[in-house]
Structure 1
């Protein structure tokens, strides 16, 4: 593809001159200066075409220039060529190929893991939020754009890639991961006793419908015995804004959910909840951590500001910017940061994140022997319990004392355990009789 740059520059400069709104946004820049800068770009372009040590196509040079312009703005603005744009559209539908990690470019020049996606090759390999990737198959990622690094992570399903990972407090280590087709069910659910547990892995086109199915399932199986909901947004890197709004709206009966504010004051957008609460007022605990970003923070912030849920865990990622996808015809699209998110109370999420109401670090629970191993039932000649259900109660007590080896080997999710305890506590408190004066 060969481009006549003199024609392109003339067209662009004319556009700048005859478009008042554009000129106003550019703070009345001198058109002559703009011409000079465009001529500078043309000169550099021609030098690269003719003198660079390796031959590059016009398309490669121009796409690299556009990518450099956008990526210099912030970590989330970028150019998507036709193939990348197609991949992005597939991802929002909940199925794509790769390793199963959401990444961004760290200021150090390394690739930073925002979060691994549940049950994907990266998740199973032990990749964690906050990990820095320094090498891919022995090649340093420093100097690569984010899209270039992501390209290297992709490959045929079943092929391996070795990543060098840096993690706080540890020496760099290599992890070999086998690529796979990533199918991400956006919403998973199960019952934890009388508490409904809902895990949202990312906000895709499937999320709102998946949430409604989960609540319907809980109501069908538990009915009035359902005590509350735990909404798990840990390591959820975000996704579609409309789905984050829909999830928040599902639990809020009124009020603002989120607002977006761009550089122009008149472009403020406010999104409000409609009447109705899918959980019918049941207590909600939302789990977040450092891998909860963007759309996850919108949901957590909205429910927190309206006192509809208690937020438990650790501070979220802090991605409070809005990216707009602007199609560029057959050439792909550009992802441009156009606004910032604000919670209903007017808090900006950017770089600060959501602070949980109850801070609970991820921890490992170990049972300790506190002594007192001998009980009445162990004493020779002790009296037997003659109640009707004594045998059943004795079996239960024996099981608790002896423990189940399989259960001991399983890791306990401490944050989830605290959330479940919190729901149980709220439920018990609400059922306690109140003293009234007549």
Structure 2
């Protein structure tokens, strides 16, 4: 049986790389889930419509994964067996329950090994989830099937997919307040930082305020104690809402007796994925742009930030930080490289078939150019050759590694910091029709041109100048965490054979390197001040937790 589905768009997320495509593909399924359902009914098992639909959805997810996952399994049979092993691991009693229900015996018409293996996999799934919280169990199944292959493939629920699409626009509707705390249900929600100009800041919320109650509809009667929220995300969901509607917050302020009530009208909030500052070092003027995530506005916001910095006077250099930037859209990383360089190509894709240049823009039959994310094509270099220093660390992953690796590979920037996360895989998000989606690792990205490229998976980006800021992710033993240290992590397809040799930027452009050393000193002073703010927030959190205890 063949089912045609369209990848109408594909976000490559995840630590986190998103591609946006528009392509249709045929997915072959060895059998319909209805064969399993009919066999179960024949065995005297009462099957509900919800159970029948869930099995069909699982079968479809399995087919989507096996047709798209990179690197390609040795065969479809090997692919199914990999998923079956992970199901057994996550649901140890699955086979026992299926046997007890009487539908583990493979029907006679399923004669080939692949069909039989798919049948047994889904019989285990049905057996594992029947008789309990079926919907919750099946969601775990949907998450387990893709994750059997690598740490970045997975299932995205309807709610998660909706939120993902909203956040990709670079804005959301809410009150614009960064919150934290809530380690346990009894903990309050703590205001970390009201965004500048946001409804929350205008209403008078301050860092350190404790949110102890939320009325999502803005009424006194709708007030809900913060202790009834299990997590920060659950509470944040009630604070966010439709633009123009009100939320009522009950707040305790440190040092004050009693409680305050704030009724705040929600507005459209800029997620502030790009932050900029002018750094002065002696008689030098350096622009600093910090990208927090490659969301759908990263490139245009970076361009705006650069123009704002240069509007105050000429710059001697530019610092672009992607420290702790988990990545985002591939087309945004491509756009940033296009902003600061002028090259034949920036990024290549290595999928199951071949290596091809990544092209975010296409020209239709009428000559009209369409670009993913509506990005612009930037001829030349927006800075006209200004020295650039790119800051990285162990939290720089995926799209931020494309940017930093590209800038280094093309000799356009000096790289400073610590080695990156080493994630060079690309994920495609395939909508499932019911509002949910499957995220599948479908390719590996390479940086450069077809004649001269380098891979990033399991290599990452190594700095030209080491600067330890102390933010690299580490495990409980103090060992640095990298993508290739994660369970099921994929290995790279390997480096380019007989690749051209490139001199270091220190040798190729000593003046640029010398200017970057000065830029790094200016950045260190800026970073020290920023880190001190973070420490003050952490001390505040400790005091608040101590008070609760």
TM-score of the pair, normalised by structure 2: 0.47
1:89 aligns with 2:169: no
Structure 1 CA distance for aligned equivalents of residues 271 and 53 of structure 2: 44
Q: Pick from 39, 57, 73: which aligns with 2:119?
A: 39
Structure 2 CA distance for aligned equivalents of residues 335 and 308 of structure 1: 33
Structure 1 CA distance for aligned equivalents of residues 307 and 383 of structure 2: 10
Q: Pick from 263, 271, 279: which aligns with 2:352?
A: 263
For 2:144, the equivalent position in structure 1 comes to: 68
For 1:169, the equivalent position in structure 2 comes to: none
Q: Structure 1 268/42 Cα, relative in aligned 2: closer, same or farther at 3 Å?
A: same
Structure 2 CA distance for aligned equivalents of residues 274 and 197 of structure 1: 21
Structure 1 CA distance for aligned equivalents of residues 335 and 387 of structure 2: 19
Computed over aligned residues only, the root mean square deviation of the Cα atoms, in angstroms, reads 4.0
- Alignment check: 8 A CA contact 1:254 1:275 kept: no
Q: Structure 1 32/260 Cα, relative in aligned 2: closer, same or farther at 3 Å?
A: same
Q: Pick from 274, 297, 303: which aligns with 1:187?
A: 274
For structure 2, list consecutive stretches of 5 or more residues without a partner in the other structure.
1-48, 79-110, 181-191, 196-206, 209-229, 239-267, 361-376, 471-516, 525-549
Structure 1 CA distance for aligned equivalents of residues 114 and 306 of structure 2: 57
- Alignment check: 8 A CA contact 2:417 2:466 kept: yes
Give SS of 1:40's match.
Answer: helix
Shift of 1:197: 0.9
- Alignment check: 8 A CA contact 2:76 2:114 kept: no
Deviations for 1:279-333, whole angstroms, at most 9, x for unmatched residues? 1111000011111111111111111111111001110111111011111111410
Shift of 1:182: 8.6
Q: Structure 1 250/326 Cα, relative in aligned 2: closer, same or farther at 3 Å?
A: same
- Alignment check: 8 A CA contact 1:230 1:419 kept: no
Deviations for 1:44-92, whole angstroms, at most 9, x for unmatched residues? 2443354x5xx222x4343322211111211111101111111111222
Give SS of 1:347's match.
Answer: strand
- Alignment check: 8 A CA contact 2:345 2:357 kept: no
- Alignment check: 8 A CA contact 2:161 2:435 kept: no
For 1:177, the equivalent position in structure 2 comes to: none
Structure 2 CA distance for aligned equivalents of residues 56 and 202 of structure 1: 36
Shift of 1:416: 6.6
1:332 aligns with 2:411: no
- Alignment check: 8 A CA contact 1:286 1:300 kept: yes
- Alignment check: 8 A CA contact 1:238 1:294 kept: yes
For structure 1, list consecutive stretches of 5 or more residues without a partner in the other structure.
102-117, 126-150, 160-180, 364-413, 422-438
TM-score of the pair, normalised by structure 1: 0.58
Give SS of 2:328's match.
Answer: coil
Deviations for 1:313-358, whole angstroms, at most 9, x for unmatched residues? 1101111110111111114101111111112142221122100111
Give SS of 1:268's match.
Answer: strand
Number of residue pairs the alignment of both structures matches: 294
Deviations for 1:231-275, whole angstroms, at most 9, x for unmatched residues? 11111111111111111100011232111111111x633359863
1:291 aligns with 2:291: no
Q: Pick from 297, 316, 321: which aligns with 1:206?
A: 297
- Alignment check: 8 A CA contact 2:279 2:522 kept: no
Structure 2 CA distance for aligned equivalents of residues 7 and 300 of structure 1: 43
1:307-326 pair list within 5 angstroms = 307-326=411-430
- Alignment check: 8 A CA contact 1:288 1:356 kept: yes
- Alignment check: 8 A CA contact 1:257 1:271 kept: no
Q: Pick from 323, 333, 352: which aligns with 1:244?
A: 333
1:80-119 pair list within 5 angstroms = 80-95=156-171
1:15-414 pair list within 5 angstroms = 27=75, 32-50=112-130, 55-57=132-134, 59-95=135-171, 154-157=233-236, 184-193=271-280, 194-222=285-313, 225-265=314-354, 268-271=356-359, 275-344=379-448, 345-362=452-469
* Range with greater deviation from structure 2 (85-94 or 313-322): 85-94
Structure 2 CA distance for aligned equivalents of residues 263 and 419 of structure 1: 45
Give SS of 1:260's match.
Answer: strand
Shift of 1:93: 2.0
Larger RCO (CA under 8 A, 6+ residues apart): 2
Deviations for 1:370-405, whole angstroms, at most 9, x for unmatched residues? xxxxxxxxxxxxxxxxxxxxxxxxxxxxxxxxxxxx
Shift of 1:5: 7.8
Give SS of 2:416's match.
Answer: strand
Structure 1 CA distance for aligned equivalents of residues 468 and 235 of structure 2: 38
Shift of 1:29: 5.1
Structure 2 CA distance for aligned equivalents of residues 120 and 40 of structure 1: 53
Structure 2 CA distance for aligned equivalents of residues 303 and 257 of structure 1: 9
For 2:478, the equivalent position in structure 1 comes to: none
Structure 2 CA distance for aligned equivalents of residues 415 and 338 of structure 1: 41
| Structure number, greater radius of gyration | 1
